[in-house]
Amino acid sequence: MYYMDDEDYFEPSEFDEKIEELKNELRESVKKEVKDELEKLREENKKLQGIKENFESIKEDYERKKAKYKSAMEKAGAKAERARLKELMKQFKTVMWSANWSYQYKKKCDKCDKYRKIKVTLPSGNVVDDDCKCGERKKTYQPKENLLYMLSDTSGKIIGWYKAITDGYFDTDGHSADTIVDHNKDFKELEENLWHTFFTTKEECQEFCDYMNRKEENSGYDYDLAGKLIKAREV
């Protein structure tokens, strides 16, 4: 068995020293590279942090401007709606007048009952009711107050809807104001669509009613079925 003694110890050769030196240089080089890389990352992180802070600031500024724009648009929309409503209300007044008609009679005689019927005895001896001569009736026209209760949008066209008022109450049925008269129509053009014709003033509506009453030749037909005088009219 062989044992190494002190005399067998060899001093490091020049080659070994060079290897060790190279190793140290590599270690230092790696350390420097890692250090430089860390420094680079720190710088980049610092820049990114600045960008992030600027981004948040830009984002906040964008949100403020967005909110301001939205508020401005809402105000502009509301203003436009008010202007449109104001314009519509010029056209569709709250109160309009229509030419309402009803059947009226001449003065009742004293020979018939309250329904203007008389008793007639037939040759067979049967007694039946027959129309009295005073039972003739004719249409009479008079202005009727109507109130706006709805606006509708039909294919981009705004239509006002009105209901007549009777004894302080709305009538059940409403009618669309297809034709609005404001001293701009020939009365002859209005005869066929009275249900949907409305006048802006009671005075012009009365003029139209007088025109229709003259056509009906209903002068003197101022009573209801029971013989009560409704209103004497100038025709």
Using one digit for the tens of pLDDT, what is the confidence trace for 15-49?
Answer: 777 777 777 777 777 677 777 777 787 787 777 77
Average pLDDT over residues 151-159: 82
Using one digit for the tens of pLDDT, what is the confidence trace for 59-101?
Answer: 777 788 778 767 767 766 666 565 565 566 566 788 999 999 9
Residue 119 lies in a domain: no
Residues 72, 21 share a domain: yes
Using one digit for the tens of pLDDT, what is the confidence trace for 168-222?
Answer: 788 888 999 999 998 888 999 998 889 999 999 999 999 999 999 999 999 889 9
Cβ neighbors of 88 (< 8 A, separation 6 or more) are 151, 158, 160
User: How many structural domains compose the chain?
Assistant: 2
pTM of the model: 0.58
Boundary (domain end) residue, out of 90, 118, 149: 90
Pairing between β-strand 157-166 and β-strand 169-176 as defined by DSSP bridges: antiparallel
Residue 80 lies in a domain: yes
Backbone φ, ψ for residue 14 (5° rounding): -60, -35
Residues 83, 99 share a domain: no
pLDDT-wise least confident of 123-127, 145-149, 157-161, 228-232: 228-232
pLDDT of residue 44: 77
Beta strands in 155-196, from DSSP E residues, in sequence order:
157-166, 169-176, 179-181
pLDDT classification of 234: cutoffs 50, 70, 90: low
pLDDT classification of 144: cutoffs 50, 70, 90: very high
Residue 2 above 60 pLDDT?
no
pLDDT-wise least confident of 155-159, 161-165, 174-178: 155-159
Nearest to 142 by CA among 85, 224, 59: 224
Residues 149, 77 share a domain: no
Residues 153, 101 share a domain: yes
Residues 205, 157 share a domain: yes
Cβ neighbors of 216 (< 8 A, separation 6 or more) are 138, 139, 140, 141
Residue 124 lies in a domain: no
Residue 32 lies in a domain: yes
Q: Across all residues in the chain, what is the average pLDDT?
A: 82
What is the residue range of 60's domain? 15-90
Average pLDDT over residues 224-234: 80
Residues 105, 57 share a domain: no
